[in-house]
Amino acid sequence: MAHIFFDHISTTPLDPRVFEEMKPYFLEWYGNPSSHIHDQGQAALKAVDAARTRVAGLIHARPQEIVFTSGATEANNLAIKGAAEAYEKRGRHIVVSEVEHFSVMNALLPLRNRGYEVTPLKVDSDGKADPEDVRRAIRPDTILVSVMHANSEIGTIEPVAEIGRIAREREVLFHTDATASAGHIPLDVEAAGADLVTLSAHNFYGPKGVGALYVREGVRLASQIDGGFQERGFRAGTENVPGIAGMGAAAAIAKEEMAPWAGKLRRLGKRLWDGIGATVSHLHFTGHPVDRLPGHVSFWVEYAEGESLLLFLNVHGVMAASGSACSSNLRGRDEEDLVASPVLRAIGVPSDICTGSITFSLGKGNTEEEVDSVLRVLPVIAKRLWEMSPTYLDYQKQKVQGGG
């Protein structure tokens, strides 16, 4: 059967070259970097330092500005809670876009409980925040602005450079979550005016279990995982050496090959976008049509529910994600998870029909043939679900009545 992976936004396959660079640190050089007095530890420490330089290179930072974490979620928690606690004396007000990932939104909850105030930034119907809104939202007690680089669900790229400039003018820290974008589109911490940047290895063909937070020299953070003195005191715990080496390798490869990857993904993405638009009715694209992640095609289909779409796609060997929380609610907290995603609500999609949202996110290994396969099966699947749906039936009856 076909095995068409169009869910790169959830995770990417490890690049085999990255795996090769990780391998020596499993069986041969397994040392703990803190035990660098001996050869095993020294080899591990060198691997971590080399990876730090490579990750820094991806975003034009300096090696000592990279703090390795267990992933993007931890990096976002460290950025938000760490900055809030470190700059508490200066103020307790934070500005965030309303389309941030749960790992930013939920990191704010314990802070709110402790009296911090959060101003959410609205986005337009393409999912973009307005830098002028950031200017208006900043108060004398604002300590942090957090706006993501690109949205994973709808693909929209945010105007981070303008937001960073405004934050800097007002002497407020600027954090950007680049989980979905890093390694895929260029990101320069200077150009973005960013003080804190979240990166995730498994989103750019690196391993799971490792991420990084860029921390601009001079920026303070309260560490969130306390213990030994690793990562210059920002993050305790024995380093995930093979994982970090893998993140370094993935960063080096991405830096080198990002441009051709993006070129290919834009071509494939356009083919998919145009094809879907032409063949599936009752379909609405989401996110910005131009300022979006390469190879990212997101939309919702009326009268069809997301999980059912995904299940049928999977039966045809096509793996994708649903923007609605529904697709992951098999382990959700409770039935409330069944509602439409906050991002779709933020861009104004009516909540009674947007449970049918789909995100196709292509990767460097995908092909035109795979796109064409998806273009063949999607209309069939949509039709099948419509024919089962009471809402579609009502719509058709109304149309007949309206016409008659």
Partner 1 sequence: MAGPYSAKVMDHFMNPRNVGEIENADGVGEVGNPACGDMMRLYVKVEEGRISDAKFRTFGCGAAIASSSMLTEMIKGKTVDEARAITNRHVADALDGLPPVKIHCSVMAEEAVKAALDDYARKHPG
β-pair partners for 129:
123
- The region of 43-51, 116-124, 176-184, 258-266 touching ligand PLP under the rule CB under 6 A is 176-184
For a copy of itself, which is the closer residue by CB, 76 or 181? 76
- The region of 78-86, 208-216, 220-228, 326-334 touching partner 1 under the rule CB under 8 A is 326-334
User: Using the rule CB under 8 A, which residue among 86, 337, 338, 379 binds a copy of itself?
Assistant: 337
User: Using the rule CB under 8 A, which residue among 146, 181, 286, 324 binds partner 1?
Assistant: 324
Interface with ligand PLP includes 320 (CB under 6 A)?
no
Cα–Cα distance, 379 to 393 (Å, whole number): 17
- The region of 50-58, 255-263, 311-319, 360-368 touching partner 1 under the rule CB under 8 A is 311-319
For ligand PLP, which is the closer residue by CB, 55 or 280? 55
Interface with a copy of itself includes 38 (CB under 8 A)?
yes
Q: Which does 142 bind (CB under 5 to 8 A by kind): partner 1, ligand PLP, a copy of itself, none?
A: none
Instruction: Provide the pairing of β-strand 318-319 with 4-5.
Output: parallel
Interface with a copy of itself includes 268 (CB under 8 A)?
no
Site for a copy of itself in 214-253 (CB under 8 A): 222, 224-229, 232-233, 236-243
241-279 and 39-58 helices, crossing angle to 10°: 30
Whole-number minimum distance, CB 241 to ligand PLP, in Å?
A: 11
Q: What is the 3-state secondary structure (H, E, C) of 233-294?
A: HCCCCCCCHHHHHHHHHHHHHHHHHHHHHHHHHHHHHHHHHHHHHHHCCCEEECCCCCCECC
Whole-number minimum distance, CB 268 to a copy of itself, in Å?
A: 19
For this structure, is 326 an active site residue? yes
Instruction: Provide the pairing of β-strand 173-177 with 142-146.
Output: parallel
Interface with ligand PLP includes 92 (CB under 6 A)?
no
User: Using the rule CB under 8 A, which residue among 27, 37, 290, 400 binds partner 1?
Assistant: 37
- Candidate list 4, 182, 326, 349, residue with the active-site label: 326
Site for a copy of itself in 313-332 (CB under 8 A): 313-314, 319-322, 327-328, 330-332
Site for ligand PLP in 196-235 (CB under 6 A): 200, 228
Interface with ligand PLP includes 187 (CB under 6 A)?
no
Inter-CA distances, 318 with 4, 77, 359, Å: 5, 33, 12
Interface with partner 1 includes 34 (CB under 8 A)?
no
User: Using the rule CB under 8 A, which residue among 43, 182, 265, 378 binds partner 1?
Assistant: 43
Q: Which residues of 251-285 are buried (b: 16+ CB within 10 A; e: fewer)?
A: bbbbbeebeebbebbbebbebbbebbeeebeebeb
**What own/partner pairs with CB < 8 Å and gap ≥ 24 does 44-52 have?**
44/239, 44/241, 47/241, 47/244, 47/245, 47/248, 48/239, 48/241, 48/244, 48/245, 50/245, 50/248, 51/244, 51/245, 51/247, 51/248, 51/249, 51/251, 52/244, 52/248
Interface with ligand PLP includes 180 (CB under 6 A)?
yes
Letters for 343-372 (x = contact with partner 1 by CB under 8 A, - = none) are: --------xxx-x-----------------
Amino acid at 83: A
Whole-number minimum distance, CB 360 to ligand PLP, in Å?
A: 15
Interface with partner 1 includes 39 (CB under 8 A)?
yes
Letters for 180-219 (x = contact with a copy of itself by CB under 8 A, - = none) are: --------------------x-x----xxxx---------
Judge whether 72 and 119 are in contact, CB under 8 Å: no
For a copy of itself, which is the closer residue by CB, 286 or 322? 322
Question: Which parts of this chain interact with partner 1 (CB under 8 A)?
Answer: 36-39, 42-43, 303-308, 311-312, 314-315, 324, 326, 329-332, 334-335, 337-340, 351-353, 355, 385, 387-393
Task: Point out the residues that are catalytic.
Answer: 326
